[in-house]
Structure 1
Amino acid sequence: MADSDSTHAPVASWMQLEHYVERLHAAARSPLGVREFYRRLLADAAEALGAVGGAAWRAGSGERLELVCQSLDPDAGIEVPSSAERHELLHGVMRNGEAAIHSMPAHSSSRKSTAVDFDALACPVPLPGAKPASGDAAAVFELWIPARAGPLAKQGWLDFAATIAEVASDFHALEELRRLREGEALHRQAVELLRRVQGPRDLTGAAFELANEGRRVLGCDRLSVVVRRGGRWRLLSTSGATRVQRRNDFTRRTERLADAVARWGEPIAAPVDAADGAELPPRLASAIEEHIDHSHARELACAPVSFTGRQKEASEDTAKRRSRKRFDAVLIAESFEAADKVAWRHQLVELGELCGPVLGRAAALDRFPMRTMLRWSDRLSILRQPARLFRALLILGALAAAVAALVYVPADFDVEAPATLVAAVERDVFATATGSVAALRVEHGQMVKQNDVLVILSDPELALKLQQVRGEIEAARKRLDALAVTRTERTLREQDGEDRLPLSAEQRQLEERLASLEAQRTLLESRRDALTIRSPLSGQVLTRNVQSLLESRPVERGQVLLTIADASSGWQLKADVPQRQIGHVLEAQRDEPSALAASLRLAGDVEKT
């Protein structure tokens, strides 16, 4: 190859060219995007041929070319032709199916002291499987090289360009293969999704399957299904959750966002996105911002769904669709990592169009009376199969025979209850007053006689009251004695004042007070005598640990202190029958004139009765 300009990289040797080709082969076999692959292709080709820049174009719809990537040294002094001229030149190269070299003039404002012309090397990338020079190209790339090379060097450029074009063709073949595999995997996932969503007959079950399976198809972190119920929106299911918490803040925010998206009528992706480039209304923008702030999602996509058909109609414009369309559900997908919002929004729309009729069928079947009819239809479906019908009739006959046997066949009914062996004559000894135990005269197992002292209680407050009453009685008696002495005197004392009572009236008052105090003393002495508790009958003390339970202990009035039993009166078995079974026992006692038979088993003997 000829020498290039001293300011640019020298042309690589053949070994270096082979190294560049091998590196491009490795890049073609790796899962790179189209932009990244051609960026590497242009960088390696420019370094190999000493080019100052280049561009890569991909064939679009019709005759349109889409710029994939472009690089240019700003100090190269090259004047790139207009897009129309370049497109015409590149289309000609693509139709011929062979690489070509065209001259490009230097830019007039170049920083170099001497202007240098450039050669534009354009090379088509054939479609995978296309014949050479057939004109079927998947892309075309161009390199801008200083025009100081001879014909032999330029032929080397063309050969190298044709080699890397074949590598790029292999890349497109592998990319198409990857795309087909992804499409096949997506198709399988869509079939599985429809199979799972069509399984439940209720709307909640279908929404649950759509949320969990749809999240796996979309590859998002969370997918929520919100459905219109009457005039309100209700969150039916969220992926990863078995049930929806109706009072949760997330539920309320999601329902408000669904209402705003349904009113807008177009799929959206957030943040910083709006449907068809239009500005979002303040209500929708506020709902999206609030939801993202609280859920901490990096990306958000929402798509309204109609149960009746496709969401987009080519014959109507956006405003007319928004005003006429009534949406029945909204799908809300969230990702906590960065994602391709445009592709994500399209996938969510396709998912809604795919599953919308299925949700509509589930909503129709989930209404009354279809829900009740289907439930009974499922229960009666066994009548269509003779084997199951025979089995069902056999089970029903067995159940009817069992019920008849329970009603008409007599059988013994045993009632089990815990029982305690007690004496026939047994009395509880209660505390007659609130106080403390002053003396304990018996112990466990001791034999006592009727009226024997068992316990003596002490009541300091009662003793104090009794002492006060006795003092008042003594004072009243002394006053009466003094009045009796006074009456024996012949001369009466002068009245001290008009309010002083006559002597006889004061004496009567003291006599009445003395009678009242005597009655109080009698009552208090009876209460004091009641503090000495005696045995109500002759027998044996059954209470265990009497000393530790009662000695010097405070007691309350009515508290059970001791239990006395007359062992000579005989013994009886007292059973504690549960409340739910006592009715059967009472009914049997009314029906049977004789006593009911009973059997007992000791607590330590589990085999013999």
Structure 2
Amino acid sequence: MTEVDAFLDDLDRLAATSATDAPAAFYRQLLPAAAMALGSDAAEWFPLASGGDLPTRWPAQPGKATPLIDSERVERVRFDGIPRIVVGENGAPAVVAPVEGASDVVGVLAIRLGDGAATPERSVELAAAVAEIASRYELRREADRVAAAQSRLARVENLLVRLHSRRGRSAIAREAADQGRLLAGCDRLTVLAPSGGGWRIVAVSGVQQVSRRSDAARRIEKLTQAGLAAGEPLVVPVPTGAEPPPQLAEQVDRYCDAAGVRALRVLPCEPPAEADEAPSRPRLALMAEWFDEAIDPEADALLAALARHLGVASQRDGAGGGWRLGRTATALVLAGLLAAGAIIAMATPATLWLPVDGRFEPIDHARVFAPLDGVVEEVLVKQADHVTVGQPLVRLASPDLLLKQEEVAEAIAATEAEIASLETEKLRASLPGRNEDAADATTLASRVAALREGLGHQQRQRELLEAEAAKLVVASPLEGDVVSWRPDDYLADRPVRRGQRLLEIAAEGRWRIELEAPDHRTGPLLRAHEMGEPLLVEYVVRADPASTHTGRVASVAPSTHADAEGSPVVRVVVDPDDAPRANPRSGLGVSAKIDCGEHSLAYVWLHEAIEAIRRRWF
């Protein structure tokens, strides 16, 4: 490989690796290399269709340097596309070569030939090779520009699709703020909506919750209002030849200094209007801000398109449309509605119902208790058996009582035997010729009298024990049905103590409902009961909640007691209007509500809170 081939390979690698967004840096490296290869002391790049790039010259000359070739020769080379040697600056020869892009010549390379240059043919050949390498770089640039344009177009399409698929002003504004900032390349994008006589922030890019009372938010809203009031989009820095109103310019300067903003745009979001339609107030507005001055050249066009589509989306959804109240007016309207509702609630009568729970109980019923300590020897009845007054229910056994009876019987037998023995001795003592050492009749008589008195006590004790033994057979105190659950299973062979409940007997036909009202909720009930009229009760049986039954309050307990859970309750007895329809049985649970009279609707809704506040404060 020759030195020229190695040189061209180095340039080829340079064209393949240089950044396509910095063409000036590429040509600053290409020009000196190409000039030295051709034995030149100066080279220049004339861009023609590369998007406004400035000419690049080596070595760089300060100020306005004279080009190596005039513009007429540059256009001629561009037109015919043939590298050649021309007369250049100050009559010095220069080789020029066109650099082609994808469809046209994009620029011209000019290299001044010095005294050490190669032959003209060789110089033209080398210049053409360098121009071909530059063409490959320009093709890369154009391919990257197309890819970037396609990527941006895809982002624009994605944003518009997502924007028009949203519903609701907040969702539309949030999508526009977050995605629009990325699309336009600004540092912050704010979406505002009209509110009352001004503008109010709806969404800010990158911010989930906007503090609208902050100084920054207030400044943005005021600047947007002032900028849109001028009738034209607000652009900072101001374009050349444009003069904003002095008052607006002063406000913009204060805002930019306080927020550190270097550039901003304020645009109304107006949908396209027909030719005969009068312009309407924009439904939304955009404020784009840059904290440095690196603004994308296409940012203005993208923001304008976003504003139009945002106006269309808001018009379609109704976001921001129509007359809107300010925050103060809205608060006053809500306060008025609440006050009107409160007045209506206080003036409207309603029935206050007190919900309580309870159970059915027979009016005539008795609980059978163990008369003394013992063991259940036999259960003589079963659940639901009908019993009569005095019918045996349970037979108990008491080993202690049996032992006492045996001891008393033995004591009585011993006493009676001793009395008989003394009576015999007393007879003998009364016969003539008795032994003088034996007890006399008087002494024996006193001893017999004492034993007879003791015998009387023992007999009375036996009678008491027999009475106690009779109690071991527990009888029914009334006629009715056995309502205890499976008494034979629960009582058989079970030790019991005196006073322990064994069975429950319920008489048929007459029932009542016993309710337990929580003590802290009985105020309205007690006040209604004091009026003297029977209070209506509606209840459902928990076993059959589809049917509603009625009753009347018969009595309210004058005292409070603790329920099974230890909570204070007040017992309320209810006479059911049609108990047989409810199919009652002892202990059947019911859910009831008691009519506590008419009160205002507000009190019916809030009486518990009112009572709680009264208990707390008073």
The TM-score normalised by the length of structure 1 is 0.50
**Which protein, 1 or 2, shows the higher relative CO under an 8 Å CA cutoff with sep ≥ 6?**
2
Query: Which structure's CA Rg is the greater one?
Result: 2
